[in-house]
Structure 1
Amino acid sequence: MTGTATTPLTLVIEDRLRTALSPASLVVFNESAQHRGHMGDDGTGETHFRVDIESTAFAGLSRVARQRLVNQALADLLASRIHALAIRARTPGEA
């Protein structure tokens, strides 16, 4: 984590993505503090996240298809607890 505290939901996101996509690299950033008072902020400090994930599961897939895989792994959280999720999904070695 760079500049953000690890929260319970951060750990759940990491666990789900590790299980679903076996990433070579994964960093989950909780950016909720930057959105305090904005739409979607429920006061929990766990509403806005950014994911940087590198996995062979993304090989041959478009950017949209890669994001869909991430969204599928987190579907129930996106429906109930996560207001915003920014995704950078790439294969190992991809810039």
Structure 2
Amino acid sequence: MSAWIATRAGAVLGHVGLTRDGEVTRLFVTPAARGRGLAAGLLGSVRAAVRGPLKLEVSAEDEAAIAFYEHSGWRRVSSSRAGWIDAAGEPALLHHYVSP
């Protein structure tokens, strides 16, 4: 697994991981740092390091992340149920995406 971290003045503002099979994982930007392009920058770093398409999954509950990915050109290819429970007490619905 590889990882990238965004920092400023020694504080971690965000991070992203990449599994060996090309799946983006743990993309996160702190709430105070959102809206500055950090998520796009982190994904850009991952894309620069990998040839070919990337994939990721996101919970259907995370509407802001879904909007970000779809606005960035990621394409939903399928959905499935996770083995963990969401806020409603149901198996979480995951959407699976591929990079543009």
Which of 1 and 2 has greater Rg?
2
TM-score range for the pair, normalised by the shorter chain length: 0.3 to 0.5
Q: Which has the higher strand share?
A: 2
Q: State the TM-score, normalizing by the size of structure 2.
A: 0.33
Higher relative contact order (CA 8 A, sep 6+): 1
Q: Which has the higher helix share?
A: 1
Q: State the TM-score, normalizing by the size of structure 1.
A: 0.35
